[in-house]
Chain A
């Protein structure tokens, strides 16, 4: 029997709040750097990223912070800024070679300022460079990206290759009540994903599949305080099934496999991968009024939803609105009232037939724009691209047939008369 509604569950995860970072500090850091006051510039970057934290003289006292399961240490030594994250200790088995290959293939790479480093049997993620080259933009980039990368990799190394955790940050376990609720939501979620996937295969619509895969991923991220290897597994497989440009058949197959595997996860396994991790650096982007307006104000995406809603495709419309609200809650840190309003919409639509859910959420989301967006209500939106029209003769352009990857093409285009 076809799925007739989606359940809603309040998050077990503790929703992060915006950190209200002081961007004036960042500008002051740039000014200090331009004036040659490198130490001051670095200090201001840290003060910007870690409001309220006591960051002293890094040469005298290293600064350590926790990002999920990773423990990051920044210090100044020998005229260099060194930032280090212990990842794992290599397993004593043949898996060590696989773990090292993974580090070389996935963690090391060009285009990043930090690299993995093996010290004895211990694998670290490291950045080290002269203080005189520490422009605030560089420090900011390393501090923002490196801990996140470390948090992403260590669980995979442990779960996949049997590596031993190394100086891992403690993660607060869930209470029994939280755990029971999380497991119930987990089971329901993957059951519903399987049902939605059947609908997707029946409808043969990439747009619908995009919404299903978004719900499959973002509802887990919104509701569950998930961490560890399970999160790494979902993230890896989601790279296939949540890729809107991918082959739909492959995406559906990958999502079906993931749903099957996630349903088979045992209670003990789930317990080991749930916990309230601490994040010194904001793990999510700060939600802005323009973000809300981009989804629900105007643009291709909301217009497409409206078209579905008014043309008897309530299932598509409701699913898109649910996935959008869930995505916004999973990927952004919102002020309390905005987060509450988004969850309120989902709660009201939960368990309602598609038509009712679509009507209710449509009004609710439009209300969110009116309530929170003000002047930003005309924001650009539109996940799905609009259909391109036929080019008319007046717009036809001549394209010079040289190769060029980075120069603006318009510099070499000519218009036909």
Chain B
């Protein structure tokens, strides 16, 4: 498949407060991914090619088979690929993995089927030598006919080129079960596959002790860390949907108008807000730099990161726990969101600045640096 081929596929990046993964459409507003990509979140964000995000509601999860079904608030478009359920894969058969490795835009890697039915931990997997990286989870493994033959799930850490996918047949069984059910949310019993609609100690069908499998967390997700709670409350107050902004653990990214905004915790002490706004122009640099360093912008400041002007704000972790000041700090967050959208236009108008090339790479680089 060529690069242009994959752009139109109904394969999208899934964002939660725990990380990112991949997923593929099985209907215009229904997406399949891994359970470990979405759990324990009940709402996730799905990013479209133009980087707009759509809210997704988790409808089904199967912790044992590592599958999940997410219903999207609107149809993102893209080709819905057929699932090939037949167990007729052959060793050395070409295979392609489509997804979002390490958070990069949609990518494809090729390999072959190393073992069509590798037994691991009591379950059968499609084993492949195609490169699987963090972020590929939940994406499709395609055969030469562009059929989904497996759902990418994991790889062996201490080995090269040993990756695994959930066979298409198992994925199809899971999807068929979902279509036959009406419950808004459910977890499939790891032992007998029956649908559980509430947290139960023992499965009513097979009697398995479900507490040891920590199923309750899927029904009643743990409360977020206070830092996460603070940011998400503040974003809500600023008119930003925090679910759509989530970009992994204690990380958020979204646009305020034309300005990209990134929020992350760089260490145990700081909560950082940054918005790459513009590149300095060729003229009036002295005036521009004097404005950035000399005008009153507190509590915000500007810096230059790879020649990109960033508006930034750093909070100390103890600020977040100073309950008396939470309202004021939340107001800072709202002001930051509004200011970023204003400043990028102002810098262009007043100082001839150029638009900043904002890519996901800047976000990853920031995290690597921290």
Name the A residues within 8 Å of B136 (CB-CB). 401
B120 partner, pick from A101, A111, A130, A416, beta carbons under 8 A: A416
B60 to chain A, nearest CB (A): 18
Residues of chain B with a CB closer than 8 A to A97's CB: 285-286, 289
User: In the complex, A118 Cα to B295 Cα: how many Å?
Assistant: 8
Decide yes or no whether A363 CB sits under 8 A from chain B: no
A406 at the interface (CB under 8 A from B): yes
Q: What's the tally of chain A residues with a CB closer than 8 Å to chain B?
A: 47
The answer to whether A100 and B120 touch across the interface, beta carbons within 8 angstroms, is no
Label chain A's interface by main secondary structure: mixed
Q: Are A416 and B304 in contact (CB under 8 A)?
A: no
Of chain B, the residue at the smallest CB distance from A415 is B121
- CB-nearest residue of chain B to A411: B18
Is residue B293 contacting chain A, with contact meaning CB distance below 8 A? yes
Q: How far is the CB of B146 from chain A (nearest CB, A)?
A: 21
Q: Is B269 a contact of A403 with CB atoms below 8 Å?
A: no
Contact partners of B367 in chain A: CB under 8 A:
405
Whether A401 contacts B21 by the Cβ 8 Å rule is yes
Shortest Cβ distance from residue B62 to the other chain A in the assembled complex, whole angstroms: 15
Using an 8 Å CB-CB cutoff, how does the interface string of B310-326 with A read, 1 for contact, 0 for none?
10111011110010110
* Inter-chain contact A401/B272, CB cutoff 8 Å: no
Q: How far is the CB of A20 from chain B (nearest CB, A)?
A: 25
Q: Once the chains are docked, how many angstroms separate the CA of A401 from the CA of B317?
A: 30
A130 pairs with B294, CB closer than 8 A: no
B residues near A400, Cβ cutoff 8 Å: 34, 36, 137, 153-154
- Known A110-B310, A416-B121; judge A399-B154 contact (CB<8 A): yes
Q: Which residues of A contact B3 (CB under 8 A)?
A: none
For the complex, give the distance between the alpha carbons of A416 and B120 in Å.
Answer: 7
The answer to whether residues A113 and B316 also contact, given A398-B164, A403-B135, A417-B121 and a CB cut-off of 8 A, is: yes
Cβ–Cβ < 8 Å partners of B18 in chain A: 402, 404, 407
Residues on A with C-beta less than 8 A from B265 are 406
Instruction: Establish whether residues B36 and A412, one from each chain, have CB atoms under 8 Å apart when the complex forms.
Output: yes
Q: Which residue of A lies closest to B274 (CB)?
A: A110
Q: In the complex, what residues of A have CB within 8 A of residue B21's CB?
A: 401-403
Q: Which residues of A contact B75 (CB under 8 A)?
A: none
Q: Contact: A405 with B158, CB < 8 Å? A: no
Which listed residue, B156, B269, B312, touches A141 by the CB 8 Å rule?
Answer: B269
Q: How far is the CB of B4 from chain A (nearest CB, A)?
A: 25
CB < 8 Å neighbour of A403 from B19, B290, B301:
B19
Check A108 against B154 for contact (C-beta < 8 Å).
Answer: no
B117 to chain A, nearest CB (A): 16
Query: What 0/1 pattern do residues 124 to 154 of B give for CB contact below 8 A with A?
Result: 0000000011111110000000000000111
Is there contact, CB below 8 Å, between A110 and B249? Answer: no
A138 proximal to B (CB < 8 A) = yes
Q: B132, A401: Cβ atoms under 8 Å?
A: yes
Judge if A137 is at the interface, Cβ distance under 8 Å.
Answer: yes
Closest to B272 in A: A110
- Encoded as 1 (CB less than 8 Å from any B CB) or 0, chain A from 5 to 18 comes to 00000000000000
State which residues 111-125 of A face B: CB under 8 Å: 111-113, 115-119, 123
Which listed residue, A105, A137, A403, touches B20 by the CB 8 Å rule?
A: A403
Which residue of the partner chain, among A108, A112, A141, A402, contacts B134 with CB atoms under 8 Å?
A402
CB within 8 Å for A406 and B314 given contacts A395-B158, A414-B121: no
- Residue B349 interfacial (CB < 8 Å): no
- Find out whether the CB atom of B304 lies under 8 angstroms from the CB atom of A110: no
Q: Is B59 an interface residue (CB 8 A)?
A: no
Question: Do B274 and A399 touch (CB < 8 A)?
Answer: no
Contact of A137 among B156, B267, B316 (CB under 8 A): B316
Which residues from chain B contact A417 at a C-beta distance below 8 Å?
120-122
CB distance from A96 to the nearest CB of B (A): 6
Q: Which of B158, B265, B292 has its CB near the most chain A CB atoms (within 10 A)?
A: B158
List the B side residues contacting A115 at CB < 8 Å. Answer: 301
Of all chain B residues, the one with the shortest Cβ separation from A96 is: B286
B33: min CB distance to chain A, Å: 10
- Determine whether the beta carbon of B153 is less than 8 Å from that of A401: yes
**Contact residues, A364-417 vs B (CB, 8 A):** 391, 395-407, 412-414, 416-417
Docked complex: B131-189 residues within 8 A CB-CB of A: 132-138, 152-159, 163-164
CA distance A192 to B248 in the complex (A): 50
| Minimal beta-carbon separation of A139 from chain B (angstroms) | 10
- Separation of A401 and B36 alpha carbons in the complex (Å): 9
Taking CB atoms, residues of chain A closer than 8 Å to B324 are 132
A118 surroundings in chain B (CB, below 8 A):
290, 293-294
The 3 closest A-B pairs by CB, nearest first: A135-B318, A391-B158, A404-B19
List 4 extra interface pairs beyond A396-B157, A401-B132, CB under 8 A: A118-B294, A138-B318, A402-B19, A416-B120
Residues of B within 8 A of A (CB): 18-21, 34, 36-37, 102-103, 120-122, 132-138, 152-159, 163-164, 248-251, 265-267, 269-270, 272-274, 285-286, 289-290, 292-294, 298-299, 301-305, 309-310, 312-314, 316-319, 322, 324-325, 367, 370
Q: Which residues of A contact B (CB under 8 A)?
A: 96-97, 100-101, 103-105, 108-113, 115-119, 123, 128-130, 132-133, 135, 137-138, 141, 391, 395-407, 412-414, 416-417
6 contacts between A and B (CB under 8 A): A96-B286, A100-B289, A110-B313, A133-B322, A401-B135, A402-B21
